[in-house]
Structure 1
Amino acid sequence: MAATMTKKDLVWRSSELFIDIINCRDMFCQIRWVFLFLLFTTSRCWSVEGYEREEFLKREYSLTKPYQGLGSSSSSHWDLMGTAMITTEHVRLTPDLQSRQGAVWSRIPCYLQNWELRIHFKIHGHGKKNLNGDGLAVWFTKERMQIGPVFGNMDLFTGLGVFVDTYPNDDKYQERVFPYVSAMVGNGSVKYDHERDGRPSELGGCTAILRNPSHDTFILVRYLQRRLTIMTDIDGKQDWRDCLDRPGVRLPQGYFFGASAITGDLSDNHDLISMKLYQLTMPPEQEEEEDEITVPSVDNLVLRSVEIQDEGMSGVSLFFTILFSVLGCFLLVVIAIVLYGRWKENRRKRFY
């Protein structure tokens, strides 16, 4: 595991490589050391200025081929549920069939303070544009192994959800182009609004044309010093594009990573190829002490469900409501008159 390198260490190691270059008398040797010198300095400069990804990924939180740590055995780190199945090339969360939902969940809670998750996936099927669905989601939540309506996971979740939504439910909102990538933080009381494609509770997002690709597609989710960043690499150019950048996101430690997908009347193949988790470390001078976080939250954002207001009754509904109300009142008056007449007649008979 790579330790964080300070500026003093960087200068010292660079000077050693430079001396080795001078001492080389062979031209081939000098070229080789120059290449190593450039590679070393460029690969480390960005980490001194910002953050550094550790040299080795965290395998206990990662899902990669040949998927040996996945299944029902006691040594497995991941669980399958629903329609999810393992192949040699991917974990298929759902096939291109209606009404399917599947998921894969880590068994080990993650206690890393800063991390970066890279998801390699593929969404493809026979349906035409806007005749496919519904999408997949990546999770970092308190709950695990709960099948539900939110891209194959439970509603009212606690933690972070990153959604790849491939079908627009809200026909009135034409400005958004699908597929669409978005993120949401839940505290156990926030419902995901399917009718409005999750807009009331999302932190932000971006359009990502990633269905039926001829190349690999990736999403990066980074959580660093309470800042949530999402990037996409979906054009086959190995170039990360910004999608979401939100500071002030507070996620507790000890949650579980997972991925899920769902199909309804429309369908797609949702394939998960890999999930690789890296621990991010900061230079000592940039590290900040953070208070313990127990409940997910976002600065300057109230996490609560937005109730959908009634649009009001139509004219026909209002007419029948009034009609039945009048008939009901009339019926009650008739019943009251009949009962009063019988009571009066019975009382008169008592005196004969």
Structure 2
Amino acid sequence: MAAACSRNHSRESKSPFCFILRGNIMGFHIYRAVACLILTISPCFAEDDHEMEEFLKREYSLSKPYQGVGSLGSSHWELMGDAMVTTDQVRLTPEMQSRQGAVWSRIPCHLKDWEMQVHFKVHGQGKKNLNGDGLAIWYTKERMQKGPVFGNMDNFTGLGVFVDTYPNEEKFIEAQKKRYTPRTQRIFPFVLAMVGNGSISYDHDRDGRPTELGGCNAMVRNLKHDTFLFIRYVRRRLTVMIDIDGQHEWRDCLDIPGVRLPQGYYFGASAITGDLSDNHDIISLKLYQLTVLRSQKEVDEEEEITIPSVDNIELLRLDQNEEGMSGIAIFFTVLFSMLGCIFLIVICLVLYSHWNESRRKRFY
């Protein structure tokens, strides 16, 4: 019918059906053009968590076959301490006591938005709570510095994400003659994040609880399937997720807005053992550059960041303060409850005596 309309112009001009059909055909072409335009520009208006373009940055990534890792001048990565390279992994520490090792990038990272995917493995002969101590992923100003914080220096400047496998805080709680509450007890292994400004110390006895931004339990030891850690930093928002169940699905661990990290810091991974030990292996560190549209104001604010900080740090510490006051709060709650009960009993006795006295007067 459309062909008939195009062949007979005189009839086309008089037939209402042809007018409608031509309008539908033109409308379809217009709709198709608009749809193509929308599909073309839609990534520009996408949310941060969707449709972001990502590019693997090989100069900041570590993966098999680990060519030249640790050798002078022939690799972007440098080994420290007891770390060693094998065909299958970079072993940060062997399953031996009092060892620490690390691998650090030689190139500072100047990306505004990035995503790190960590393929790691923690395994050993130790049973539950008889293993340690854990590993850490770093984005810090300092590099290649031995220390007590999972094999890195204390009072670091930047971001640390820790996979802590031993609960030191249990001994601290026992020494203080305190007890965990269901709200405050953590199950280990535990993943947590901390931002340091060069003057904040990691509390080893309390497993970093006073300075943690958030965390989650992660049963990562001696698993037969692969385990992954996901760290994303976009528009001053830090997100950590884990994939440890063998289902190839990310599980939320923490999501903190207002995290300010300067550019030009170094990526690294480290681990430490003490009286207890584990093999701490890094299979790969893959860094992706994320392309996110920013306003000029946001660009200017990023350039002003010189010291790592967290905007809402006071709110994050509020729970810690409430935890410290929990014993006192319980004491005063019980005390005032008892006083309230006594007061009510006295009032009831006074009212009863008045009622009883007035009742007897009515009989005389």
Structure 1 length-normalised TM? 0.72
Q: Given that residues 53 and 278 in structure 1 are in contact (C-alpha distance below 8 angstroms), is that contact kept between their aligned partners in structure 2?
A: no
Q: Is the 8 A contact 1:133 1:263 kept in 2?
A: yes
SS at match of 2:36: helix
Contact 2:54–2:291 at 8 Å: present in 1 too?
no
- Give 1:46 deviation, angstroms: 11
Closer, same or farther: CA 165–284 of 1 in aligned 2, 3 Å? closer
Q: Call closer, same or farther: CA 1:48–1:300 in 2, change over 3 Å.
A: closer
Aligned-pair CA distance for 1:161:
0.4
Cα distance in 2 for partners of 1:199, 1:129 equals: 21
Partner of residue 203, structure 1: 213
Aligned twin of 2:203: 193
SS in 2 for 1:242: strand
Name the SS for the 2:139 alignment partner: strand
Per-residue deviation, residues 227-254 of structure 1 (Å, max 9, x unmatched):
0000000000000010000000000000
- Secondary structure of the 2:95 match is coil
Q: Is residue 2:311 matched to residue 1:299?
A: yes
Unaligned runs of 5+ in 2: 1-32, 174-178, 325-364
Distance of 2:94 and 2:129 partners within structure 1: 18
Q: Which has the larger radius of gyration?
A: 2
1:255 positional shift: 0.2
Offset at residue 73 of structure 1 (A): 2.6
Partner of 2:59: helix, strand, or coil? helix
The residue number in structure 1 matching 2:91 is: 92
Cα distance change, pair 287–63 in 1 and its aligned pair in 2 (3 A): farther
Identical positions, percent: 69
Structure with more helix by fraction = 2
| Cα distance in 2 between the residues matched to 1:293 and 1:284 | 16
State the secondary structure of the residue aligned to 1:56: strand
Which 5+ residue runs of structure 1 have no aligned equivalent? 1-7, 16-40, 310-352
Aligned equivalents of 2:283, 2:191: Cα separation in 1: 18
Q: Does 1:152 align with 2:133?
A: no
Q: 1:123 Cα shift?
A: 0.1
Change (3 A) 1:10 1:245: farther
| Pairs within 5 Å for 1:51-66 | 51-66=50-65
Match of 2:278 among 268, 285, 309: 268
Query: 1:212 is matched with which residue: 191, 212, 222?
Result: 222
Distance 1:47 1:286, change over 3 A: farther
Contact kept, 8 Å, 1:53 with 1:280, in 2: the verdict is yes
Match of 1:4 in 2: none
1:228 paired to 2:238: yes
Matched, 1:11 2:23: no
2:44 and 2:276 map into 1 onto residues whose CA distance is: 45
* Structure-2 separation of matches of 1:77 and 1:227: 27
Amino acid at match of 1:116: E
Q: Distance in 2 between matches of 1:95 and 1:125?
A: 9
Per the alignment, residue 121 of structure 2 pairs with 122
Amino acid aligned to 1:129:
K
Residue in 1 that maps onto 2:263: 253
1:116–1:222 contact (8 Å) kept in structure 2:
yes
